Structure 1
């Protein structure tokens, strides 16, 4: 299909979203109505009104028994009328628990179509200058269910699929890294080789990217710690011996087979400078933009990516989760803080539950009936057997593209801090963090990563923030600056928090600075528990004692707010 036709398709489906959604629901119900799950509610009917009236809104715990029965070997028509060939595993870092979802190869095709549309949208805004993309992608080895079906993260499933392997050779040549680097099961070896390939082809790189902003920040941090070895490889035309994955090693050896001391000297000159400000544009001078997800909890990485990239455009393109894909950003040049996603109506059937519904199920609305400025939780029905499944995200309607709504990601539902009766949401935390970041930047410090928890082990309970900090140049931690950050955070929280802090029901907020590499260790902990590096997101709030122990074992210093925040802040 030509590029023009695909872009025309996007125009057509967003103009006719209501009919497409109705047709899709009819198709889904016709396929799945006789499953054990739906038969209880629909009795063989595929009528939309009966579906709306009888099928309940559910969370994962409601459908988990059905999913596990299929995973354990029962026929897939327990939950799906179509063939189930694999399960997608969620990262587990947003909601705290990993989940698995039944799918077949159609989900891979859907991902491919969204990525193709993304590329076409980007091509409208950036010149067609010939060059390559340096993207940091990884896989995690698949596991299997008791019935023998593969279980893997969505991106692992995509990169290991025939769809990806058999894509046109032109598409393969657009990337600095060969497929063998992405498919290397050792993420450290994969990351090293991504950088080695990208540096070796620096003059061809026009785009730098990753799935999540966290992955890109981690890659630059890894480069800062390993650039000397990378330069040595380029200088000698030889891959380090510790790269033991044979497919990965041989594919990279082809790229750097000729010694290049001039390039090694150039990279060494840039990386040995005191400041790493603008390091991305210094090492890859033709780079036009950075592409990665920057919404939600990824927004914390915007300042450091702007620092590293000399403020190249930061483009957040796609919104999705393990349950389904939702849509894409059709205005990629907007500020990262203003990103909205246009839902693609032919992927899943979408409904929306107002956040203030108070248990009234009649308030749920279809995709085209949401109201501008209002907040909703998306509810999805997929062709693979999820029916009226609550996603757990909170979105705000920001506008419409043709007749299809656009949504801003606000936060995850129920991810809050609370030590008394106050409620501090993910959005509250991120807004407060943005204010504190200004204080840090005034002292040439950068926040590399953070998480927090409500410590109620003593009275009064208080908020604890773990911060990993990096200096733009060589400076020491300044107690005055960190204490001020504590105060700024508290002043940014809601009125109930400030009132209870002033009356002594909430203790002084605490920042615990951890040593460099602590959040890498935290990521490794979650990966060891079955998570995927490709989909990893540092949790904004942590309750796991084991995860907290990783942080506690690396605390360097503690700082507290010295005064209660004003009530009229």
Structure 2
């Protein structure tokens, strides 16, 4: 039955959430030194690759030499090297560690990589100064597909930011031994000429064993089986996510998706499909008209197990009591603490509808990043998405910021020389430049 349970603070991977936060505070308070060490590690590991050898670094790992010798590069500059790797060149072209797969991403317009540095905070609750950025872009772009390298270092940095963000969320909205109703989906995979798997960055992450382990550690284990996440048809997977979520309704403490629009789409679908979902629960079998994939049907059959008319009646009763579907999430998932996903940039458009479905549940904006890598974490999860800021993680990549000054009359921006992470000015607009362990 759909009963509300008490919750308390949990641990992150056997370590207290407060310890994770303390380590975060340590590196952000010492951002200048941490940035120098991060660049040193990147260059020490990758200094012998073909791309950097041709730039005359000669073993130098300091920021001044790096900025003087290594020019700013766009994807177009790196594309010939990435294409060689995709075609099977196994030599250290861009990275010392081999690419394990290729991430596909649409090319974004130039302004999409900008962020406005809205404040440098000194918050008593956080114990120190933090560089925070208000994001202008959620990383959602459209256009021509491009290849990006993906390796184990990107998986590590992704898990790092997941754990940090969770520690702050769990301090504000504690969960305990719960599951997450996650509307996540894999994308179709292809093979490059050299045999590397090419798919979206999120699919590369979902396929990693580290992802599953981290989701368990941070109380965000998905209700749905892998067959649903990696199903061949989006509509069938969405339907099964909803069904799996209803079957585990009492255990769900987080409702999430990568992007806010995915949660909105899921509940727009629920409005049309709830009677079919109730019928499936009642008879203990997924509708053959809704789900045709044999693998997905088998996985869902294991979850359904037996008819459950009591749950079906309860879901139907709660749906009938709703007014225009307001508050459907807390009505059906009474132990949910918050709704989580990227809600900034172009995703802010969906916040109003998402708030309608969430009723009084908090909406928490997810991390700030892109396919190339992560930039910052939301360390104030209680702040509404419209006012969310993101604290830059100085040990996740080496960051530079190109100042953008508005040009009077033409609506464009004039660029200046890049500045370092600790050299930015509050209230100014910058384009983010990243040097990562994947050499993006």
| TM-based fold match above 0.5 | yes
Q: C-alpha separation between the residues in 1 aligned to 2:313 and 2:414?
A: 65
Query: Is 2:147 the counterpart of 1:100?
Result: yes
Please, which of 392, 396, 399 is the counterpart of residue 350 of structure 1? 399
Instruction: Report the equivalent of 2:246.
Output: 199
In 1, are the aligned partners of 2:365 and 2:378 still within 8 Å (CA)? yes
> Given the alignment of the two structures, is residue 245 of structure 1 paired with residue 293 of structure 2, yes or no?
yes
Q: How many residues align?
A: 385
Q: Normalised by the size of structure 2, how large is the TM-score?
A: 0.81
Aligned-residue CA RMSD in angstroms? 2.3
C-alpha displacement of 1:315:
0.2
In the alignment, what sits opposite 2:280? 233
Give the equivalent residue in structure 2 for 1:2: 15
Judge conservation of contact 1:172–1:178 (CA < 8 Å) in 2: no
Specify the alignment match of 2:432 in structure 1.
378
Displacement, 1:319? Answer: 1.0
Deviation at 1:219, TM superposition (A): 0.3
CA distance in 2, matches of 1:94, 1:290: 23
**Does the 8 A contact of 2:259 with 2:343 survive in 1?**
yes
**Matching residue of 2:117:** none
| TM-score w.r.t. length of structure 1 | 0.64
SS of the residue aligned with 2:434? Answer: strand
1:78 Cα deviation from its structure 2 partner: 2.2
Match of 1:61 among 76, 91, 97: 76
Aligned-partner Cα distance in 1 for 2:66–2:255: 45
Unpaired stretches in structure 1, ≥5 consecutive residues: 387-569
The 5-angstrom pairing of residues 78-117 of structure 1 reads 78-91=93-106, 94-117=141-164
Larger Rg over CA atoms: 1
Check 1:288–1:229 CA distance in 2 against 1; reply closer, same or farther (3 A cut). Answer: same
For residue 191 of structure 1, report the CA deviation from its aligned partner: 0.9
- The answer on 1:17 being equivalent to 2:31 is yes
Cα separation, partners in 2 of 1:60 and 1:34, compared to 1, 3 Å: same
Cα 1:286–1:163, aligned 2, differ >3 Å: closer, same or farther? closer
Q: Deviations over 1:316-354 (max 9, x none)?
A: 021111101112100000011110011111111000000
Cα deviation 1:293-330 (Å, max 9, x = unaligned): 11000001111111111132110021111101112100
1:313 corresponds to which of 362, 365, 368 = 362
Q: Aligned equivalents of 1:264 and 1:276: distance in 2?
A: 18
Residue of structure 2 in register with 1:294 after alignment: 343
| Partner in structure 2 of residue 265 of structure 1 | 313
Distance in 1 separating the partners of 2:227 and 2:183: 13
The structure, 1 or 2, with the larger RCO (C-alpha pairs under 8 Å, 6+ apart) is: 2
User: How far apart in 2 are the matches of 1:77 and 1:131?
Assistant: 43
SS at match of 1:110: helix
**Partner SS, residue 327 of structure 1:** strand
Q: Is contact 1:76–1:84 with CA below 8 Å preserved after alignment?
A: no
Q: Indicate the residue corresponding to 1:26 in structure 2.
A: 40
Mapped partners of 2:436, 2:28: distance in 1? 19
Structure 2 CA distance for partners of 1:193 and 1:364, relative to 1, 3 Å: same
